[in-house]
């Protein structure tokens, strides 16, 4: 209807562009409202922003954006979907930064962090300033702009893109989680490229079913604009995605447009041979693990599509540092690796690789996060049992749950119970594994990767697997890094 907002309580349906020119700021947190701000009421899983209208008003909101009628002293703007409206507004409010950058979005259950780092490395090698948004941090080169959720909320997303742009970035490569897609946190970004790695069981506490999980991931390919879509054609869900998406598509995999011809991985690194558009290429890297064939292929597919010279890509991939992703932190008589794997599929992948690389026994140390997807716990136990000679079950981030209860859930999936030692104290569990390791063995510490805290009953205590290993064994823990 486009009528002017009045200071009295009124319900208006209007184009938000009009009001965005007049507000001082936008927020979805009623506590952050300042005079002249536009407040967006978002209905989350725990809280509903519609219950905080009074607080927003009291703090001086210029107007509030809602999905259902509320009574208020300030103008009320009703929209169909406040999350989408917030995305659109943040995009506009921060000057449409995604349109001035090449934004590359990567989604999938596993491989997002690794693939973002690979693409970042290639673009940096090509001399282009590139920002990175993901699980570990939001950073531009050495400069860390922040960290938080894998994919930030709408405001942080568009504001961070703006910051990257103002700092001279040409590209931003970002992990896009399924939660983020479901909640339209990156809406309405225009991507240069979107990539799909794979889909396996995770986050079923949130998504309930695999179908729902897949539907969220698929949104990046069906509801967002992008110049090219790069999809793993060896993955069952990747194949399904191919049926519902349009535009320029490049597949990778054993029979993909980018064809994986050969992949070898050993303790020192990996070598990949691929064919693309009638030519063959070889790449070598310090990264280890069978699954790296896919992460490398995804990144290479993007780079070749973009026209980056193959020898430059080869140079870039030689040495890549992805913290906490099959990170070798000790290698002497025996080897210790740290990995972020916290899903059954990821545990399976890491330990399969570790099994192959270990010349002696494989000792795995892990737990599972509290307050989250319980169904995955026995499956993680099962995957670990398949490859480990010894399993030390411990705590991950127990959050509000009892660590012993989580350990029992994992134990349910393990049939050979005599393979298992239970030590709920993570530090002691790591120490135990290291004390038991003999020449040629491999110790795999899983679940937390780069994290520098352990979350117990609402408190984040400082804790780093790498640091603990360093304290026990000494050394600088710096193998396989550039």
Binding site for ligand ADP (CB under 6 A): 110-114, 135, 175, 197-198, 291, 294-295, 325-326, 339-341, 346, 349-350
Beta bridge partners of 66: 78
CB 326 within 8 A of CB 353: yes
In the complex, minimum distance from the CB of residue 126 to ligand ADP, in angstroms, rounded to a whole number: 22
Extract the annotated binding site. 28, 30, 108-114, 150-151, 177, 183, 185, 372, 396-399, 447, 451
Q: Decide the pairing of beta strands 63-66 and 76-78.
A: parallel
Which of residues 117 and 162 has its CB atom nearest to ligand ADP in the complex? Answer: 117
> What would the DSSP string read from start to end of 336-366?
EEEE---SHHHHHHHHHHHHHH-SS-EEEEE
Which of residues 98 and 116 has its CB atom nearest to ligand ADP in the complex? Answer: 116
Which of residues 97 and 253 has its CB atom nearest to ligand ADP in the complex? Answer: 253
CB 103 within 8 A of CB 174: yes
In the complex, minimum distance from the CB of residue 347 to ligand ADP, in angstroms, rounded to a whole number: 8
Q: Which two tokens stand for residue 200?
A: 């396996």
In the complex, minimum distance from the CB of residue 48 to ligand ADP, in angstroms, rounded to a whole number: 30
In the complex, minimum distance from the CB of residue 450 to ligand ADP, in angstroms, rounded to a whole number: 9
In the complex, minimum distance from the CB of residue 360 to ligand ADP, in angstroms, rounded to a whole number: 21
What gap in Å lies between CA 316 and CA 140, rounded to an integer?
17
What gap in Å lies between CA 194 and CA 253, rounded to an integer?
16
Extract the annotated binding site for meso-2,6-diaminopimelate. 372, 396-399, 447, 451
Which of residues 202 and 257 has its CB atom nearest to ligand ADP in the complex? Answer: 202
> Is the bond into 295 cis (omega within 30 degrees of 0)?
no
In the complex, minimum distance from the CB of residue 110 to ligand ADP, in angstroms, rounded to a whole number: 3
Q: Which residues contact 94 (CB under 8 A, 6 or more apart)?
A: 158, 159, 161, 162
Q: Which residues contact 347 (CB under 8 A, 6 or more apart)?
A: 341, 366, 380, 383, 384, 446
In the complex, minimum distance from the CB of residue 298 to ligand ADP, in angstroms, rounded to a whole number: 8
Extract the annotated binding site for ATP. 108-114
Which of residues 192 and 234 has its CB atom nearest to ligand ADP in the complex? Answer: 234
What gap in Å lies between CA 119 and CA 258, rounded to an integer?
16
Q: Which two tokens stand for residue 31?
A: 């506590």
Which of residues 189 and 198 has its CB atom nearest to ligand ADP in the complex? Answer: 198
What gap in Å lies between CA 292 and CA 53, rounded to an integer?
48
Which of residues 19 and 231 has its CB atom nearest to ligand ADP in the complex? Answer: 231
């Amino acid at each position: 209807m486009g009528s002017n907002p009045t200071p009295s309580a009124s319900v208006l349906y209007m184009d938000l562009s009009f009001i965005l020119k007049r507000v001082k700021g936008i927020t979805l947190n009623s506590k952050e409202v300042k005079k002249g701000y536009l407040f967006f009421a978002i209905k989350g899983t725990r809280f509903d922003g519609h219950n905080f209208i009074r607080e927003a008003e009291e703090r001086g909101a210029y107007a509030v954006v809602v999905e259902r009628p509320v009574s208020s002293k300030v103008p009320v703007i009703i929209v169909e979907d406040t999350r989408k409206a917030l995305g659109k507004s943040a995009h506009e409010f921060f000057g449409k930064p995604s349109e001035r950058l090449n934004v590359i979005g990567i989604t999938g259950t596993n491989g997002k962090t690794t693939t973002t780092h690979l693409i970042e490395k290639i673009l940096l090698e090509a001399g282009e300033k590139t920002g990175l948004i993901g699980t570990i941090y939001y950073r531009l080169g050495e400069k860390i702009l922040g960290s938080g959720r894998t994919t930030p909320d709408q405001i942080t997303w568009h504001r961070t893109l703006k910051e990257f742009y103002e700092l001279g970035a040409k590209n931003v490569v970002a992990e896009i989680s399924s939660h983020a897609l479901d909640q339209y946190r990156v809406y309405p970004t225009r991507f240069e490229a979107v990539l799909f790695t794979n889909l396996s069981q995770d986050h079923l506490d949130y998504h309930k079913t695999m179908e729902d999980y897949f539907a969220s991931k698929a949104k990046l390919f069906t509801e967002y604009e992008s110049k090219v879509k790069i999809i793993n054609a060896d993955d069952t869900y990747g194949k399904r995605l191919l049926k519902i998406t349009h535009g320029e598509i490049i597949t990778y995999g054993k029979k993909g447009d980018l064809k994986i011809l050969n992949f070898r991985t050993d303790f020192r690194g990996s070598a990949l041979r691929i064919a693309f558009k009638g030519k063959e290429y070889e790449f070598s890297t310090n990264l280890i693990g069978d699954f790296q064939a896919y992460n490398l292929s995804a990144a290479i597919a993007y780079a070749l599509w973009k026209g980056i010279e193959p020898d430059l890509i080869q140079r870039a991939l030689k040495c890549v540092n992805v913290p906490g992703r099959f990170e070798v932190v000790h290698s002497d008589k025996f080897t210790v690796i740290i990995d972020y794997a916290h899903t059954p599929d990821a545990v399976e992948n890491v330990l399969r690789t570790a099994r192959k690389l270990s010349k002696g026994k494989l000792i795995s140390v892990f737990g599972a996060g509290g307050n989250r997807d319980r169904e995955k716990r026995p499956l993680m136990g099962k995957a670990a049992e398949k490859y480990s000679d010894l399993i030390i079950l411990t705590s991950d981030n127990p959050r509000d749950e009892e660590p012993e209860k989580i350990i029992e859930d994992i134990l349910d999936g393990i049939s050979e119970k005599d393979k298992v030692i239970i030590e709920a104290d993570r530090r002691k569990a790591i120490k135990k594994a290291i004390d038991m390791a003999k020449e040629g063995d491999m110790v795999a510490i899983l679940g937390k990767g780069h994290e520098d805290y352990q979350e117990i009953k609402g408190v984040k205590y400082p804790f780093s697997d790498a640091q603990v290993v360093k304290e026990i064994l000494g050394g600088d823990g710096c193998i396989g890094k550039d």
